[in-house]
Amino acid sequence: MESGENGRGRPESICPEKLGKAELLEGRDKLATDTPEYWRSLEELAGDPAFHERLHREFPKGASEWLEPISRRGFLRLMAASLALAGLTSCVKQPIEEIVPYVIQPDDIVPGKPKFYATAMTFAGYGIPLLVESHMGRPTKIEGNP
């Protein structure tokens, strides 16, 4: 059975809204090649001219040009202001939360019996081995791992 035919052998009519999408079926020949190609959407695969127009008009004319020269001092002032504002947004006081026990306790946790983990942390670009003792899932003692 050819594509576009229903079970009775007659070609199906295409509704007017999907008439442009029918051209996407022409992309099958492009998909059959052995060389890998990547595309953003089916419109790019089909070679839709409206897609290429949208692609080239993504930004307004002259958006990539910097017309006013900026001094080193002005650049540093702008970077300092942006870093200061980024630091202020991270200093938000967190809401107070209650610590509550497990509703459904995991099988491997026994109250009063600590679990020990061997892990590592980074310091000056190197990994430092650690032994961690935890009670009920919360670390209580951290010491160096010989």
Q: Which amino acid, 5?
A: E
Residue 37 domain boundaries: 16-56
146 assigned to some structural domain: yes
What is the pLDDT at residue 67?
76
Q: Residue 77 — very low, low, confident or very high, per pLDDT cuts 50/70/90?
A: very high
Q: Provide φ and ψ at 104, rounded to 5°.
A: -120, 110
Q: What is the pLDDT of residues 3-53, one digit of tens each?
A: 444 455 555 555 555 555 555 555 666 666 666 677 777 777 777 787 777
What are the structure tokens assigned to 39, written together? 């595309």
In terms of C-beta density within 10 A (0-12 exposed, 13-18 middle, 19 or more buried), how is residue 82 classed? exposed
The answer, as to whether pTM is greater than 0.75, is no
> Total structural domains in the chain?
2
Strand order in the sheet with 126-135: 115-123, 126-135, 138-144
7 assigned to some structural domain: no
What is the pLDDT at residue 111?
82
CA 92 to chain centre: 25
115 assigned to some structural domain: yes
88 assigned to some structural domain: no
- DSSP annotation of 122 reads E
